[in-house]
Amino acid sequence: MKLFVRLTSEIDDGLRKLLRYRGDLSRFIGEALTATDLNGVALVSRGALNGKETTASIDQRTGERLKAAASNRGCSANSLANSAIAAWLSKR
């Protein structure tokens, strides 16, 4: 499944910094979405969601979980993905 997400500059920079050392972007995004409680993660501010567009390949189940959680929370999948990635990055 392709996930089209507009990452905040801070999140994009954090992911790219990890990439310099190992791995690929899709794997990190997938891991962040899987490891984070999508129903409880604090949402990033709406104003911060104006970064670069990025495409990541994630598995179907993770994409469905993301969409369902975003719908339940009344936010966009983009906002929730950024929030999950930010929370994941803060633990690295």
Which tens digit of pLDDT belongs to each residue from 28-87? 889 999 999 999 999 987 665 566 777 788 899 999 999 999 999 999 998 999 999 999
- How many CB atoms within 10 Å of residue 8? 20
The model carries a pTM of: 0.74
Q: Which of 21, 26, 22, 20 is nearest to 7 (CA)?
A: 26
Q: What is the per-residue pLDDT across 5-29, written as a single tens digit (0 to 9) for each?
A: 888 888 888 887 877 655 577 888 8
Reduce the secondary structure of the chain to three states and give it as a string: CEEEEECCHHHHHHHHHHHCCCCCHHHHHHHHHHHCCCCCCCCCCHHHCCCCEEEEECCHHHHHHHHHHHHHHCCCHHHHHHHHHHHHHHCC
Instruction: Determine the Cα–Cα distance for residues 51 and 37; give it in Å rounded to an integer.
Output: 23
| Domain range summary for the chain, segments of one domain joined by + | 2-90
Residue 59 phi, psi dihedral angles, 5° rounding: -75, 155
